[in-house]
Structure 1
Amino acid sequence: MKHLLFGLILTSIGLNGAFAQKKMKTINTWSKNEVIAHRGAFKAKSLPENSIAALNEAVRIGCHGSEFDVHMTADGVLVVNHDHDFLGIHIEKSTYKELQAKKLSNGEYIPTLENYLKTGLKQKTTRLILEIKPSKSGAEYDKVLTAKVVAMVHKLKARPWVDYISFSYQILQQVKQLDPEANVSYLAGNVSLEKLKQDGFYGADYHYSVYKKGEWFAKAKELGLTINAWTVNDAADMKWLLDNKVEFITTNEPEMLLELIKSRK
């Protein structure tokens, strides 16, 4: 594993310059609403969170984006799952083959990032909101994880589809180093808008309660930053955020939010 980590760190250094040279294409067919389906649109149809099926459902119902979480196995495979454990199996300490000992409730194996992205690339209406989960193995592991994630996005030519989010500021800074044109938004809620702007971030992606303390909305627009709020499942909170013209709302109830947006037109 140490040899794998060392090799990938060297690879990430080499990729830095190469990524910076490539211009990102634009796509103008994204669904024009504020809805980001949290771990896909899973709840209404009782689909597994972070499954390919939940991604496809988010696309089908017309969400602007579908959020998902990425980890790395012991043998360097990038997989999509929220927790550090997959059905009781620790991802970072297990091989991908070992993870395949169990399946999601709909019969899917844990998705690889490659397969997840390939599915997302089949459509041009729903953006892929890729959360890089900080590991429990330390900063060096996170560097390798991040380099591999960005490399996969570039390999599949998925950059126009993907925005990056993380609770780790360092991970997002590394993404920007590897791909200066990438959209990155920070989740933890403890950094000022001015700092995000200074570091070239796309915006703030904080828990909605953070925005109820202090002035955020006008300042974000002044600085040219986006505001996303997570995880918003109550209609009253959705209405408050829509009234304040936030760009994005992450929710476990995308159908509710889509209906609410429709009713306000």
Structure 2
Amino acid sequence: MKTSQLLCPIILFSALSSCNSPKASKIKFADNIVVAHRGAWKAKNFPENSIASLQQAIKLNCTGTEFDVWRTADDSLVIHHDPHFNDLEIEKSTYKDLMQFQLSNGEQLPTLSAYIKAGLTNNNHTRLVCEIKPSNINAAYGQETAQKAVTLFKELNAEDYVVYISFDYDILKKILEINPKANTQYLNGDKSPAECKADGITGIDYHFSVFQKHPEWIKEAKENNVILNAWTVNDPKVMDWLIQEKFDFVTTNEPEEVLKKLKK
């Protein structure tokens, strides 16, 4: 993998003392392609999208760790994959409602603020890959969620760490309206690399089967300097194929396995 193809591998940024961030004045993202899907949760049996799984991804030296963002009825941004948490619909519940329940390791459902601060602590090598979930209320609600997330990353001086991903193309376009320099990757698999580049979207982050059906998009992405990412890659043969094809990122529930393959 060419380091130059990664998203801003060395970026100067201001001190982040308010967030207990690294004292180093440089981010040097890990020179590997591994993005831990919902954190590095599987090997240690951590809850997905937990602070513990985030910290484990950083400990493993993954180049990225992915997580999912929803907005509650009282405007709290929280980290969870599914639209429901313990049978409560997140978008129609308050954070106080959600705090009745804990994750399997005793953590509270993380807020985005807490998650970012944990992601900045002792970390100058792992990207925070932030998936903004399309809203089940309406499209405008999802875009407002994206706007609040972008604002929070800016307030916490974490803009240089974040990559935004979404299945909702308009959410990514909204993010670019707010911050034209934001790193963005589209998830849905229905647009060519050239189409994404024309709209200012940095990369395509598609299910690996999309690239199997459209191998020409791999070449097109490289020719257009569009980042290549694939999810969710747990099959060793698919891992080998993506490494051979020189993908920029591989999103996986098995980060340890991809790291082993890269060492070989």
TM-score by length of 2: 0.89
Structure 2 counterpart SS, 1:216 = helix
- More helix, by proportion: 1
Distance in 1 separating the partners of 2:234 and 2:199? 31
Match of 1:258 in 2: 259
Amino acid at match of 1:160: D
SS at match of 2:28: coil
CA displacement 1:84-104 (0-9 Å, x = unmatched): 111221111111011000000
Shift of 1:25: 4.0
- Cα deviation, 1:220-265, whole Å, max 9, x if unaligned, reads 11101110000000110000000000000000000011001111xx
Name the structure 2 match of 1:243.
Answer: 244
Match for residue 234 of structure 1? 235
The structural deviation recorded for 1:208 is 0.3
Following TM superposition, the consecutive aligned residue runs of length 4 or more in structure 1 with deviations greater than 6 angstroms are none
* 1:137 match: secondary structure: coil
Deviation track 1:20-75 (CA, whole Å, cap 9, x = no partner) reads: xxxx8464421110000000000000000000000000000111000000000100
Q: Provide the residue aligned with 1:30 in structure 2.
A: 29
**Partner Cα distance (1:192, 1:217) in 2:** 10
Q: Any gaps of 5 or more consecutive residues in structure 2?
A: 1-10, 14-25
CA distance in structure 2 between the aligned counterparts of 1:116 and 1:139, rounded to whole angstroms: 25
> For 1:183-262, what aligned pairs fall within 5 Å after superposition?
183-214=183-214, 215-262=216-263
The 5 A counterparts of 1:15-54 are: 25=12, 27-54=26-53
- Structure 2 counterpart SS, 1:54: helix
Q: Aligned-residue CA RMSD in angstroms?
A: 1.0
Show the 5 A alignment for 1:75-224: 75-122=74-121, 123-214=123-214, 215-224=216-225
| Bigger mean CA deviation after superposition, 94-103 or 211-220 | 211-220
> C-alpha displacement at 1:157, in angstroms?
0.8
Q: Would the aligned equivalents of 2:130 and 2:165 in 1 still touch at CA under 8 Å? A: yes
> Hey, what's the Cα distance between the residues in 1 that align with 2:97 and 2:171?
27
1: CA distance, partners of 2:75 / 2:38: 22
